[in-house]
């Protein structure tokens, strides 16, 4: 029987409407032949065609729902097997109709549902079929009620509200008992709840917690025949329906307990989860706080460090400022001393300058007179020199004219020489350029020839290599193709032959069977026909014989009384018998005809079968021929490709030979070409070289003659220059004497002036004489070190006026130190 599991408990009829019709066609029946004709006596023919049936049960409104006046959501039409769902979409009222295999309205009773829908299924189970009934629907729609209902009365009978499970149990045991069957029954109880399978027959302690339950794992598996089995469930032997009921009651209690346990476990899990979440959240916030604290601590540390650095910087700057102030104080003291000395010096200088002014005036008068004398002397000397220089100028003009003439002649000669030289050099350049271009073009030609040859060789080799590669890859591909084709053809050939062999075997065996069968049946029919014919004729003969005997006996007995009537009667009866025998014979012949017709039909059938068979044999033959042809074609293709391959190989060999010949030919040609080009170029270069040598010797001779001419002209010019230089020397000597006398006069004047100025400056004019008088020291307000320390003020707080004064005094001292005595006055001189 099918396993009565807790799933079964909640797994029978549908309680809620489904959105689509459920008239599921039955694609196949699993054991149609093995069942008797009455195996599903309770089920309609249509039901028998269904593997899966969907039934809908609609429960009535509960008392609470009625009290609350809740409207019914669906309307059932049991006869039409339809359910109408009323919906209001917006302001529209929409009715949606769904069709099921069976529909049970709110008034339908447990018993009628069981009898109509479940009882046939249980009967199938008892015949050895696997069947499942399960309930599906929303919570509170009546699944438990439909599956379980009430289990049993106190008297042990089934109550009216007993559901599918107790009724199925009862039917199973009643049937088995009625059959006096020898049976044993095992039950398993399991529950699939929240995707977890629980063995409800397992010992109590295993149900307590998830950990205990997981000690004995239960798994869903396929048994290899497409059925799902639950492995690891406890099995219990049962011998009566009551045992199952009490087991069910026990299990239900367990289920309730387990439910409670499960719910508490779930609650605990949820609590732990929420606590964990809280902990996590707390941890996260603490972590964040810690992070914030860390950041703040870092910031505080950095600001503290910055402040410390600032304080130390400030202290350093303050110390340096105080040092500066101290230094300034010392400087100020020195400066005040210097200023007092400087003021004394300035007073002395003012006095001296007043005295010197009168001396300077006298010196000015004296100096003016001396300078006038000097001017006169220089004037006379200059005029004399001018005259002498004019003489020199005239002489130089004549000299220059002569020189110009000789220069012109020389220039003309040099120009001529230059022209000749330029033309010659141009010729030379042209020749050289021609030579150069020729040589370069030759070189280019040689290079291009060489490179062309090299490229040709390289190209040739590359082409040869590519071709050889192509040929080799062609060979390889073709060989691969051959291999593939060979394998494919062999496989196809074998497959085709196998297929044709198998099908021919099958067909021939089927045909042989059919023909044998037909022959057997025909012969049976013939013998039957003959037997029946013989039997019938025998019976007829017997009947006729019997009738004749009876008729003669009766005739003899009633001959006297009713001779006339009897004779008529006998004739009538004879007629009747004759007619009857005719009729019988006719029917017999009719039957024979029919049988013969049947026989001929059978023979026709046989002949058509034979024809079909021969056709099939022809087809097989054709197929075989096709296969043979195709294989022959493949063989030919293979041979062709092999020939192609061989040709390719031969071609590649020829190509390689060509490549070799080409290489040797190319090498020979190349060498010959290069040698010939080189020889011609060498001869041309020799000719050019000879020409260049002749041109250069001509040019050398011409240049030599012109250079000789030039040398002679230069010598003449030199002789002329010598005469002129003698004359210039004498004139120069005279002017030198005059200049000497002037220099002597001028020197005397100068010495006179210098004597005078020396007398003025060193004897009459007194400068920088030491007074040996200590300058008056004026009181300057210099701050003490203590006051500086006490104030600790920055440098810019010092008296800016004092600083400015000091700066200006310093500048003045610096200027005075670098000034020469009477610089302004001496600068005029």
354 a known binding residue?
no
For the bound state, the minimum distance from the C-beta of residue 254 to ligand ATP, rounded and expressed in Å, comes to 16
Q: Is 145 in the site for ligand ATP (CB under 6 A)?
A: yes
142 a known binding residue?
yes
Residues 322/327/330/335 CA torsion (nearest 10 deg): -120
> Which of 56, 339 has the CB closer to ligand ATP?
56
Alpha carbons 217 and 170: distance in angstroms, whole number: 32
Q: Which stretch binds ligand ATP (CB under 6 A): 139-147, 238-246, 487-495, 646-654?
A: 139-147
Interface pick for ligand ATP out of 18, 132, 141, 407 (rule CB under 6 A): 141
Residues 533/539/543/546 CA torsion (nearest 10 deg): 140
Interface pick for ligand ATP out of 142, 187, 200, 207 (rule CB under 6 A): 142
Q: Which stretch binds ligand ATP (CB under 6 A): 56-64, 419-427, 528-536, 628-636?
A: 56-64
For the bound state, the minimum distance from the C-beta of residue 123 to ligand ATP, rounded and expressed in Å, comes to 24
156 a known binding residue?
no
Q: Is 460 in the site for ligand ATP (CB under 6 A)?
A: no
Alpha carbons 85 and 560: distance in angstroms, whole number: 97
Interface pick for ligand ATP out of 140, 747, 794, 821 (rule CB under 6 A): 140
Alpha carbons 271 and 293: distance in angstroms, whole number: 32
For the bound state, the minimum distance from the C-beta of residue 15 to ligand ATP, rounded and expressed in Å, comes to 6
Residue with smallest beta-carbon separation from ligand ATP: 142
> Which of 62, 317 has the CB closer to ligand ATP?
62
Q: Is 143 in the site for ligand ATP (CB under 6 A)?
A: yes
Asked if 677 and 445 touch (Cβ cutoff 8 Å), the reply is yes
For the bound state, the minimum distance from the C-beta of residue 136 to ligand ATP, rounded and expressed in Å, comes to 9
Q: Is 139 in the site for ligand ATP (CB under 6 A)?
A: yes
Range 324-330 contact pairs with CB under 8 angstroms and sequence separation of 24 or more: 324/795, 325/788, 325/793, 325/795, 325/798, 326/785, 326/788, 328/795, 328/798, 329/782, 329/783, 329/784, 329/785, 329/788
> Which of 14, 489 has the CB closer to ligand ATP?
14
Look at the block and give the residue holding tokens 């009713």. 562
Instruction: Name the pairing type of β-strands 102-104 and 55-57.
Output: parallel
Structure tokens at 437: 């271009």
Helix, strand, or coil (residue 75): strand
Interface pick for ligand ATP out of 24, 44, 51, 62 (rule CB under 6 A): 62
Q: Is 72 in the site for ligand ATP (CB under 6 A)?
A: no
Alpha carbons 114 and 171: distance in angstroms, whole number: 10
Asked if 123 and 40 touch (Cβ cutoff 8 Å), the reply is yes
For the bound state, the minimum distance from the C-beta of residue 194 to ligand ATP, rounded and expressed in Å, comes to 13
Q: Is 60 in the site for ligand ATP (CB under 6 A)?
A: yes
Burial of 580 (0-12, 13-18, 19+ CB in 10 A): middle
For the bound state, the minimum distance from the C-beta of residue 256 to ligand ATP, rounded and expressed in Å, comes to 12
Q: What angle do CA 479, 480, 485 make, to 5 degrees?
A: 95
Helix, strand, or coil (residue 221): strand
> Which of 135, 169 has the CB closer to ligand ATP?
135
Q: Is 723 in the site for ligand ATP (CB under 6 A)?
A: no
Alpha carbons 293 and 276: distance in angstroms, whole number: 25
Q: Which stretch binds ligand ATP (CB under 6 A): 54-62, 366-374, 570-578, 611-619?
A: 54-62
Helix, strand, or coil (residue 771): coil
Q: What angle do CA 277, 278, 283 make, to 5 degrees?
A: 95
Our measurement of the distance from residue 682's CA atom to the centroid of its chain's CA atoms, rounded to an integer in Å, reads 68
For the bound state, the minimum distance from the C-beta of residue 63 to ligand ATP, rounded and expressed in Å, comes to 9
Instruction: Name 242's Cβ contacts closer than 8 Å, sequence gap at least 6.
Output: 152, 156
> Which of 102, 143 has the CB closer to ligand ATP?
143
Q: Is 59 in the site for ligand ATP (CB under 6 A)?
A: yes
Q: Is 343 in the site for ligand ATP (CB under 6 A)?
A: no
Alpha carbons 139 and 15: distance in angstroms, whole number: 9
> Which of 153, 513 has the CB closer to ligand ATP?
153
Please, which of residues 467-486 interact with ligand ATP by CB under 6 A? Answer: none
Alpha carbons 308 and 329: distance in angstroms, whole number: 31
796: DSSP letter: G
21: DSSP letter: -
303 a known binding residue?
no
Asked if 110 and 161 touch (Cβ cutoff 8 Å), the reply is yes
Q: Which stretch binds ligand ATP (CB under 6 A): 137-145, 191-199, 526-534, 770-778?
A: 137-145
Q: Which stretch binds ligand ATP (CB under 6 A): 21-29, 135-143, 152-160, 554-562?
A: 135-143
Q: Which helix (H) or strand (E) covers residue 718, if one does?
A: helix 563-758
> Which of 39, 145 has the CB closer to ligand ATP?
145
> Which of 142, 775 has the CB closer to ligand ATP?
142
Range 772-776 contact pairs with CB under 8 angstroms and sequence separation of 24 or more: 773/344, 774/344, 775/340, 775/341, 775/342, 775/343, 775/344, 775/345, 776/340, 776/343, 776/344
For the bound state, the minimum distance from the C-beta of residue 142 to ligand ATP, rounded and expressed in Å, comes to 3
Structure tokens at 762: 């060193």
Q: Which stretch binds ligand ATP (CB under 6 A): 59-67, 211-219, 571-579, 695-703?
A: 59-67
Q: Is 144 in the site for ligand ATP (CB under 6 A)?
A: yes
Our measurement of the distance from residue 343's CA atom to the centroid of its chain's CA atoms, rounded to an integer in Å, reads 94
Instruction: Name 61's Cβ contacts closer than 8 Å, sequence gap at least 6.
Output: 70, 72, 106
Instruction: For the beta carbon of residue 101, count every other beta carbon within 10 angstroms.
Output: 19
Asked if 771 and 348 touch (Cβ cutoff 8 Å), the reply is yes
For the bound state, the minimum distance from the C-beta of residue 82 to ligand ATP, rounded and expressed in Å, comes to 19
For the bound state, the minimum distance from the C-beta of residue 141 to ligand ATP, rounded and expressed in Å, comes to 5
Q: Which stretch binds ligand ATP (CB under 6 A): 46-54, 132-140, 458-466, 795-803?
A: 132-140
Q: Is 194 in the site for ligand ATP (CB under 6 A)?
A: no
Q: Is 357 in the site for ligand ATP (CB under 6 A)?
A: no
Asked if 233 and 199 touch (Cβ cutoff 8 Å), the reply is yes
Instruction: Name 197's Cβ contacts closer than 8 Å, sequence gap at least 6.
Output: 190, 191, 218, 220, 230
Please, which of residues 648-707 interact with ligand ATP by CB under 6 A? Answer: none
> Which of 83, 335 has the CB closer to ligand ATP?
83
For the bound state, the minimum distance from the C-beta of residue 178 to ligand ATP, rounded and expressed in Å, comes to 30
Instruction: For the beta carbon of residue 159, count every other beta carbon within 10 angstroms.
Output: 15
Q: What angle do CA 439, 444, 449 make, to 5 degrees?
A: 125
Q: Which stretch binds ligand ATP (CB under 6 A): 133-141, 226-234, 272-280, 786-794?
A: 133-141
- Interface map 10-49 toward ligand ATP (x if CB under 6 A): -----x----------------------------------
> Which of 259, 296 has the CB closer to ligand ATP?
259
Helix, strand, or coil (residue 397): helix
> Which of 1, 151 has the CB closer to ligand ATP?
151
Asked if 355 and 814 touch (Cβ cutoff 8 Å), the reply is no
For the bound state, the minimum distance from the C-beta of residue 57 to ligand ATP, rounded and expressed in Å, comes to 7
Alpha carbons 743 and 737: distance in angstroms, whole number: 10
For the bound state, the minimum distance from the C-beta of residue 210 to ligand ATP, rounded and expressed in Å, comes to 22
For the bound state, the minimum distance from the C-beta of residue 253 to ligand ATP, rounded and expressed in Å, comes to 16
For the bound state, the minimum distance from the C-beta of residue 149 to ligand ATP, rounded and expressed in Å, comes to 9
Q: Is 9 in the site for ligand ATP (CB under 6 A)?
A: no
Q: Tell me, by CB under 6 A, how many residues bind ligand ATP.
A: 12
Binding site members for ATP? 137-144
Binding site members? 137-144
Binding site residues, ligand ATP, CB under 6 A = 15, 59-60, 62, 137, 139-145
């Amino acid at each position: 029987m099918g396993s009565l599991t807790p799933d079964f408990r909640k797994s029978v009829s549908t309680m809620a409407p489904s959105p689509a019709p459920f008239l599921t066609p039955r694609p196949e029946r699993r054991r149609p032949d093995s069942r008797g004709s009455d195996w599903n006596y309770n089920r309609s023919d249509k039901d028998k065609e269904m593997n899966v049936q969907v039934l809908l049960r609609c429960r009535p409104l509960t008392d609470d729902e009625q009290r609350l006046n809740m409207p019914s959501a669906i309307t059932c039409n049991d006869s039409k097997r339809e359910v109408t769902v009323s919906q209001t979409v917006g302001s529209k009222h929409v009715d949606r109709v769904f069709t099921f295999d069976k529909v049970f309205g709110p008034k339908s009773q447990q018993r009628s549902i069981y009898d109509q829908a479940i009882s046939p299924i249980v009967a199938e189970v008892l015949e050895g079929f696997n069947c499942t009934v399960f309930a599906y629907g929303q919570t509170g729609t009546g699944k438990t009620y439909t599956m379980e209902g009430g289990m049993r009365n106190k008297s042990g009978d089934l109550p009216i509200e007993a559901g599918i499970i107790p009724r199925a149990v009862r039917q199973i045991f009643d049937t088995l008992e009625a059959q006096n069957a020898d049976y044993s029954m095992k039950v398993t109880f399991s529950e699939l709840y929240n995707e977890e399978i629980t063995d409800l027959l397992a010992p109590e302690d295993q149900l307590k917690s998830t950990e205990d339950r997981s000690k004995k794992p239960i798994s869903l598996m396929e048994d290899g025949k497409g059925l799902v089995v639950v492995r690891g469930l406890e099995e219990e032997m049962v011998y009566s329906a009551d045992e199952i009921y009490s087991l069910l009651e026990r299990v239900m209690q367990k289920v309730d307990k387990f439910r409670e346990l499960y719910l508490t476990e779930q609650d605990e899990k949820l609590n732990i989860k929420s606590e964990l979440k809280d902990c996590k959240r707390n941890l996260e916030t603490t972590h964040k706080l810690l992070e914030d604290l860390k950041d703040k601590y870092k910031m505080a540390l950095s600001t503290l460090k910055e402040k410390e650095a600032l304080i130390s910087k400030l202290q350093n700057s303050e110390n340096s400022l105080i040092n500066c102030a101290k230094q300034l104080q010392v400087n100020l003291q020195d400066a005040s001393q210097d200023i007092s000395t400087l003021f004394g010096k300035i007073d002395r200088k003012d006095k001296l300058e007043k005295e010197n002014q009168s001396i300077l005036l006298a010196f000015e008068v004296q100096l003016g007179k001396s300078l006038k004398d000097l001017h006169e002397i220089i004037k006379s000397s200059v005029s004399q020199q001018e005259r002498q220089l004019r003489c020199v100028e005239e002489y130089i003009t004549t000299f220059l004219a002569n020189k110009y003439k000789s220069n012109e002649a020389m220039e003309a000669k040099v120009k001529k020489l230059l022209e000749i030289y330029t033309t010659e050099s141009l010729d030379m350049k042209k020749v050289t350029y021609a030579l150069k271009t020729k040589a370069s073009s030759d070189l280019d030609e040689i290079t291009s020839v060489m490179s062309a040859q090299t490229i040709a060789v390289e190209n040739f080799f590359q082409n040869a290599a590519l071709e050889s590669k192509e040929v080799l890859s062609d060979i390889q591909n073709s060989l691969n193709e051959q291999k593939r084709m060979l394998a494919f053809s062999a496989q196809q050939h074998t497959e085709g032959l196998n297929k044709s062999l198998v099908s021919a075997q099958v067909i021939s065996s089927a045909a042989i069977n059919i023909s044998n069968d037909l022959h057997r049946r025909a012969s049976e029919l013939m013998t039957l026909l003959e037997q029946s014919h013989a039997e019938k004729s025998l019976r007829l003969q017997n009947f006729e014989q019997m009738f004749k005997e009876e008729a003669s006996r009766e005739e003899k007995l009633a001959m006297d009384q009713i001779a006339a009537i009897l004779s008529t009667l006998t004739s009538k009866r004879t007629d009747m018998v004759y007619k009857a025998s005719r009729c019988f014979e006719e029917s017999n012949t009719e039957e024979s005809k029919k049988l013969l017709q049947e026989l001929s039909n059978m023979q026709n059938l046989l002949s058509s079968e034979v024809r079909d068979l021969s056709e099939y044999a022809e087809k097989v033959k054709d197929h075989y021929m096709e296969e043979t042809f195709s294989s022959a074609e493949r063989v030919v293709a293979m041979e062709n490709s092999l020939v192609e391959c061989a040709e390719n190989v031969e071609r590649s060999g020829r190509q390689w030979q060509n490549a070799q010949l080409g290489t040797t030919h190319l090498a020979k040609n190349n060498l010959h070409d290069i040698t010939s080009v080189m020889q011609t170029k060498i001869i041309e270069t020799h000719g050019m070289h000879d020409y260049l040598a002749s041109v250069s010797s001509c040019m050398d001779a011409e240049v030599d003659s012109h250079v000789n001419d030039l040398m002679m002209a230069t010598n003449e010019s030199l002789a002329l220059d010598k005469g002129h230089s003698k004359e210039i020397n004498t004139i120069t000597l005279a002017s030198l004497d005059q200049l000497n006398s002037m220099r002597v006069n001028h020197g005397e004047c100068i010495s006179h002036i210098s004597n005078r100025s020396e007398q003025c400056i060193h004897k009459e004019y007194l400068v920088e004489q030491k007074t040996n008088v200590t300058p008056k020291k004026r009181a300057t307000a210099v701050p003490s070190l203590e006051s500086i320390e006490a104030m600790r003020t920055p440098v810019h707080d010092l008296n800016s006026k004092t600083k400015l004064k000091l700066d200006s005094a310093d500048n003045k001292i610096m200027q005075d130190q670098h000034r020469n005595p009477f610089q302004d006055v001496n600068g005029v001189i």
